[in-house]
Amino acid sequence: MKLRIDPEMLKGDYIENLTAEHPDTIGVQFDPLKESIPTNIVHNLEKIRPFGGLKHEKGLSDRYEQLYEDRALFRVIDSCQARCTNCYIKNQIVVPRHIMPTLEEKLVASEEEVERVLKEVKSQPKLRNFLISGGTPFILTAESLDYLIGEFLKISQISQIYIAGSRPIFNPNMFRQEIVEVLTNHVRYDAELKKNKRIGVTVHINHPDELQPEVVEGLNNFSKSGIPLFSQTILMRGVNDSEETLEKLYSNLSGIGVNPYYLLHAMPTRFAASSRDGRALMQLSPSSHSCSAIPMSPGANWRTPSRSLGA
C-alpha cells in the first residue's frame, strides 16, 4: 500500500493558520509537533486496546483488534498529521509531516499483514462490521484504499465497512473526489448473499469552529454521493463542555449531512471532562432533538445510550 503525500499537508500552513486564529477552540486541541521526534518511533508502537477488544492474537498483526463479536478494527497506517492532546497513542503514531514520505514502508500495513488479517476475518462468521482505521486512512492512495475495501467486502459475512479516524480540520483535501468515487463504487447489493454491501465514513470533530468552508466542502463530497457520515466528539473541559457549544456543533453537523454518533469522555488529557460531566449534559439536553450521541469511555468496554444533543 502507498501513501498519497499532499504538498499542502507537508507544509501545514492550513492548520497552523487556524490554530492561530482560534487558539481557545482549535489551538488547544493539539500539542506542538516537534521536529525532533525520532524517526524510529513507528517501531515502538504499544499494544494499547482502549476499547477492551476480544482478540489481539500474537503473530496476527499488532494493527488488528476484534472489538466485539460482530466488529473488528484494522489500523492500516501508523501515522497521523496531528498530535492531538486527547489521543491515547499520540506518542506512538505521530510522525513529523516532513519525514512521512521517507517512512512509507514502515508506516503502512504490509501485504503480508493484510493477508493475515483477511484470513482471520474470514474465520470469524459473526463479524459483520469492519473498521479501517489509523492514523489517517484517507492519506492512502485511492488505489490502496480501493484494494483494501474490495478485499474485505469480498468476505461474505462483512456487510459494512467504516473508514474511521480522520480529522478533516488538518487536511480537507483528504476528501477528494477520487476517494469518494472509490467508496461509492463499492456500495452494492449482493444478490447471491441477499444483502447490501455498505460503506460509512467516521470523522472526528470537537468544535463548531472546525467546520471551516474547506472542511464542509470536503464532507459534502461524501454526503452528495450518498455515503453515510458519522462524527465522534471528545468532551473537552473548557472547549466544548457546554450544552450551547454541543448543540451548535451537532446542529451544524446535521445540516451538512453528518450524523453525530459518539460523544467520548474520560480521555487521558489535561482537558478531560468526566463521564459525570457528560451525563449531566445529557440530562440538560432537550428530548426533542433528533441526533444521537453515545458516550463511550475507553477501556471500560461499555456504551450508554443518551438523549440527543443536536437538531
Domain ranges of the chain: 7-227
Dihedrals phi, psi of 304, to nearest 5 degrees: -115, 120
129 exposure class (CB count in 10 Å sphere: 0-12, 13-18, 19+): middle
Which helix (H) or strand (E) element contains residue 197?
strand 195-204
pLDDT per residue as tens digits for the range 50-87: 444 444 554 566 788 888 889 999 988 876 666 777 76
Q: What is the Cα–Cα distance from 84 to 87, expressed in whole angstroms?
A: 5
pLDDT recorded at residue 158: 94
Q: Which amino acid is at 84?
A: C
- Per the prediction, the chain carries an average pLDDT of 75
**Structurally, what CATH architecture does the domain formed by 7-227 represent?**
Alpha-Beta Barrel (3.20)
pLDDT tens profile 268-301 = 566 666 666 666 666 655 544 555 555 555 444 4
- CA dist 167 and 165 (Å) reads 7
User: From CA 303, how far away is CA 51, in angstroms rounded?
Assistant: 10
